[in-house]
Structure 1
Amino acid sequence: MSAAIRGTIVTLGGGGFSMSDDGTSAIDDLLLDLTGRERPKVCFVPTASGDSLDYSSHFEAAFAGRAETSVLSLFGNRVYDYSDPEMLRDQDVIYVGGGSTANLLAIWRLHGVPEVLRAAAADGTILAGISAGMNCWFDASSTDSFGPLAPLRDGLGFLPGSACPHYLGEPGRREKYLDWVGSGTLPEGIAADDFSALIWRDGELVEAVSEQPGRPVFQVERRDGVGVEREIPVRQLTAR
């Protein structure tokens, strides 16, 4: 496990442009606002989806006209040639997509991405991500990278503890995560429902937000061998 990172990370349990039919998202609006720039540079990292072209195109359409977009391609396909991860240092936001957390971590490590991400964050670049793009920053997580939901204790360790995205939105997520935290299989951590997100600075939780009503976020703790939820206050965002 690595030391907590210096810088800002926004972790989405679900939502953002990935779960919006028209690409609009109050969480993504907030993400751009956090940069303090009129037209920020935003790089999408679709490693977890195998550099999905549809996913990348959806990202570009959602941010068109309000950000300078780019895509980090580690697979190299017919649209996006292989990109040097060093490009991440020149971004205002690095936005990590969903998919396989395990594959993302393995490929990133082979290409030296974690070291670049840590340096970029320290220089002021905002790190963000949904689903696998939430999981990756923590010490551990709940993942379906191997088919059925399973615990994964192999995260980057930029944020402490464990993570569970899609907490109420996918069958089995809540029950299994509570069981794994209660048994010590996973460390205590954060569970975020779809359309909710958390803002972290220097490894500390600053705020939880939501772009839909009734989308909770929980701190999940271990008490006497049982996983117990403690709800975190969530600020409701207003769509622009």
Structure 2
Amino acid sequence: MTAAAPTIVATCGGLNGGDWTDSVYGPLLQHAIELARVTGRAPRVTHINTAGGDQRHIEGAELEAARLAGVEASHVRFFPHPNTPDLREHLLRQDVVWVSGGSLVNLLAVWRAHGLDRLLAEAWQAGVVLAGGSAGALCWHEGGTTASYGPGISAVPDGLGLLPGSLGVHWDSDPKRRPAHLAAIADGTLADGYALEEGVGLVYRGRELVDVVAERDGASAWELHRTDGSVTETRVTPRVLPNESTDRSDRSTFTPPNEEARQPR
């Protein structure tokens, strides 16, 4: 089966460190798989590591994590050339497309050169869950901020635009991100949107935000809104996802984005 509607999961997460393996599928990636509603067979997940240059040693950790999760995993590569003769057929056969982090600018350029942007939009409409972390979350939006050009943080206003508005990532772990992103919204370079702390994800059905989830307690998302040249940040408390090491019941509920606001800046 495919997702009930076009679905995107944009996160600051993905693979986590394992206890005795290099990596495991974290709760955010597992949730993307659950949203694909697969029954009667192993879920199919294709990993796309364009933003990191298709490094092969990363693929090994992903394949091991997939095996442990009972997932049929594959990879889409563009270096030195596409690794599959029919990208469209491959993507439409998947349940989840997971995009890893790295350079947002390079990712967008390579995808557009090969027409992958159009194929992903088609797969999304067909019910394949699109998901990813960091650059793999930014890419689906109208724009975002990135370190693609070097140590500074730059605004990129020409994302794929499947999702409305802008996205900021690593809100609590990279002190350069927040001021640069807020400034880009304040001056109109980027649209209003959301920001994610580590371990948090946004779930969209179509272009509508329907859930905010996290793989750890205490992490938040932030709604960002520009008014008269300043930006208000409103905390959004996510629903904490179960982990394989815990019980499978939800431990909190999604709170609409009106819980707490920071002063405009």
Normalising by structure 1, we get a TM-score of 0.91
Q: In structure 2, do the counterparts of structure 1 residues 7 and 24 end up closer, same or farther at CA, with 3 Å as the change threshold?
A: closer
> Is residue 29 of structure 1 aligned with residue 33 of structure 2?
no
Q: Which runs of 5+ in 1 are unaligned?
A: 1-5
Q: Which region of structure 1 is more displaced relative to structure 2, 191-200 or 221-230?
A: 221-230
Correspondence 1:6-21 to 2 at 5 A: 7-12=6-11, 14-17=12-15
Q: Given the superposition, is the C-alpha separation of residues 175 and 128 from structure 1 closer, same or farther in structure 2, using an over 3 Å criterion?
A: same
Question: Deviations for 1:148-201, whole angstroms, at most 9, x for unmatched residues?
Answer: 100011101000111111111112111221121122121111101110001001
* Contact 1:195 1:211 (C-alpha < 8 Å) held by counterparts: yes
- CA distance in 2 between partners of 1:26 and 1:155 (Å): 26
* 1:87-138 residue CA offsets vs partner (Å, 9 max, x unmatched): 1111000001111000000000110101111111111100001111111111
Query: Following the alignment from structure 1 to structure 2, what is the Cα–Cα distance between the partners of residues 109 and 165?
Result: 23
Cα distance in 1 between the residues matched to 2:239 and 2:169: 18
Q: Which amino acid aligns with 1:193?
A: E
Give the letter aligned to residue 37 of structure 1: V
2:100 matched to 1:97? yes
* C-alpha contact (below 8 Å) 2:13/2:133 kept by paired residues: yes
Q: Which residue of 2 aligns with 1:193?
A: 197
CA distance in 2, matches of 1:45, 1:95: 6
Matched ranges for 1:75-154 at <5 A? 75-76=79-80, 81=83, 84-86=86-88, 87-147=90-150, 148-154=152-158
Structure ranking higher on relative contact order (CA contacts 8 Å, 6+ apart): 1
Pairing partner for 1:217 from 214, 221, 226: 221
TM-score normalised by length of structure 2: 0.83
Distance 1:127-1:19 versus aligned 2 partners, 3 A rule: farther
Q: Comparing 226-235 with 188-197, which one deviates more in the overlay?
A: 226-235
Q: Distance in 1 between matches of 2:51 and 2:86?
A: 17
Residue aligning to 2:58? 55
Q: Distance in 1 between matches of 2:203 and 2:195?
A: 13
CA-CA distance at 1:82 after TM superposition: 5.2
Q: CA deviation at 1:26?
A: 1.3
Deviations 1:28-84 (A, max 9, x none): 22122111114111000111111011222221111114111100011148xx94554
Residues 182, 228 of structure 1: 8 Å contact kept: no
Contact kept? 2:23, 2:61, Cα under 8 Å: no
- Residue of structure 1 equivalent to 2:175: 171
Equivalent of residue 161 in structure 2, options 154, 157, 161: 157
Aligned residues: 232
Match of 1:180 among 180, 184, 195: 184
Identity rate of aligned residues, in percent? 34
Contact 2:23 2:62 in 1 (8 A): no
Residue 19 of structure 1, CA deviation: 6.4
Which moved further from structure 2: 161-170 or 23-32? 23-32
